[in-house]
Chain A
Amino acid sequence: MKLTWLSAFDIISLSPGFDLSSLFEKDKSHRSDARFTTQKSASTIVSRLEEVASMGSFKVKKKDGTVKMQGSKEGRKGQLAIDAEIFEITPAFHVVQVTKKSGDTAEYSLH
């Protein structure tokens, strides 16, 4: 899978200090995106995501550094769709950005 390369500025802009959206949110648990870093290789990350997806009966599509997961069950606000975009800082260091694309936030948080 071809991954997105991060420049120094891309990495710097990951800081929560730049994320003014917290000013507007009273409750952080309703965020529709999350980010985490990992020392695992890209292929390990992808396999892990595929594992999680199959446990929750998600269909998985891989495209340009993003693992797209689509729920098959109709939730309260339609099907749950989650994107996990993988960025490479070094081959042993990745950042995964998870975003809810559609569906109910409460169902998304469970996953």
Chain B
Amino acid sequence: MGCFNSKVKKQFRGHEDPIALASQTAFSVSEVEALFELFKSISSSVIDDGLISKEEFQLALFKNRKKENLFANRIFDLFDVKQKGVIDFGDFVKGLHVFHPNAPQEEKVNFSFKLYDLDGTGFIERQEVKQMLIALLCESEMKLADETIESILDKTFVEADSNQDGKIDKSEWQIFVSQNPSLLKIMTLPYLRDITTTFPSFVFHSEVDEVAT
């Protein structure tokens, strides 16, 4: 597989090989290269170290590096697979892969389950859902009476928690999501289909062509 243009290799030095990333994800090599352009701009926005920090992630998402958000934190933590407090290029591509329209449904279901399982116990507990609901209401400056919140939780758990043990396990989540497919809407970014036009890659890669993926 030695057809890699040396100019391209220099660009990606210190980062995971785009060809390897393309083979593990729903992205083509040129799409991975386009993602690199996006990665470079996000990872250099506060400190130019080739890594995305929590602050840089917040800046890219909210245009405000100081904005703390429970849900953005969850996404960041799930992208940060090695739990180093930073997202490298490989993490970035593999994380975004799950949001690709062509990523397997199962991966989206798994990711969303982990997203809502705040303390990583393998269960989405009622208390966690309440915490997230309150956080959302807070950030949207919506006020709901505690009884209203409890009744929303009641209705949700009646539907989702089939063995009524007060928590949602993985298989209950899978069933709930299959009955309510709109819940996975957040797990797909249609933008990822047009990534090469949004972020044209300036890497000339005549030797690395689509056939390789």
Binding site for B on A (CB under 8 A): 5-24, 28, 37, 89-90, 93
Q: Mark B134-162, 1 if CB is under 8 A from A, else 0.
A: 01110110101000100011011001100
Residue of A nearest to B173 (CB): A9
What's the minimum C-beta distance from A53 to chain B, rounded to whole angstroms?
25
Which residues in chain B, 101-158, are within 8 Å of chain A measured between CB atoms?
116, 129, 132-133, 135-137, 139-140, 142, 144, 148, 152-153, 155-156
Q: Which residues of chain A have C-beta atoms less than 8 A from B191's C-beta?
A: 21, 24
With beta carbons under 8 angstroms apart, the residue of B63, B72, B96, B129 that contacts A9 is: B129
Q: Which residues of A contact B72 (CB under 8 A)?
A: 17-18
B156 touches A20 (CB 8 A): no
| B186:A13 contact, CB within 8 angstroms | yes
> A63 to B63, alpha carbons, bound, how many Å?
36
A89 to B148, CA, bound (A): 9
Does more than half of chain B's interface fall in helix, strand or loop, or is it mixed? helix
Partner of B61, one of A10, A11, A23: A23
**Which A residues are in CB contact (< 8 Å) with B182?**
10
Which of A7, A23, A28 has a CB less than 8 Å from the CB of B156? A7
B42: CB under 8 A from chain A? yes
- The answer to whether A11 and B180 have CB atoms under 8 Å apart is no
Q: Which 3 A-B pairs have the closest CB atoms?
A: A17-B71, A17-B72, A17-B69
Main secondary structure of the interface of A (DSSP, over half): helix
Q: A20-B75, A23-B38 are in contact. Are A15 and B159 (CB under 8 A)?
A: no
Given A7-B160, A37-B142, A89-B144: A18 touches B38 (CB 8 Å cut-off): no
Residues of B that sit less than 8 Å from A by CB: 38, 42, 60-63, 69-75, 96, 99, 116, 129, 132-133, 135-137, 139-140, 142, 144, 148, 152-153, 155-156, 159-160, 180, 182-183, 185-186, 189, 191, 195, 198-199
A17 cross-chain contacts in B, Cβ below 8 A: 61, 69-75, 139
Given A7-B156, A93-B142, A24 and B136 touching (CB < 8 A)? Answer: no
Assembly CA distance A7 to B129 (angstroms): 11
- Are B153 and A15 within 8 A (Cβ)? no
List of A residues within 8 angstroms of B99 by Cβ: 20
B102 to chain A, nearest CB (A): 16
CB of B186 within 8 A of CB of A16, answer: no
Asked, given contacts A20-B61, A20-B189, A22-B61, whether A11 binds B75 with beta carbons under 8 Å apart, the answer is: no
A20 CA to B58 CA in the complex, in Å? 11
When C-beta atoms are compared, the residue in chain B nearest to A35 turns out to be: B140
Q: Is the CB of B140 within 8 A of A8?
A: no
Give the distance to chain B from A101, nearest Cβ to Cβ, in Å: 14
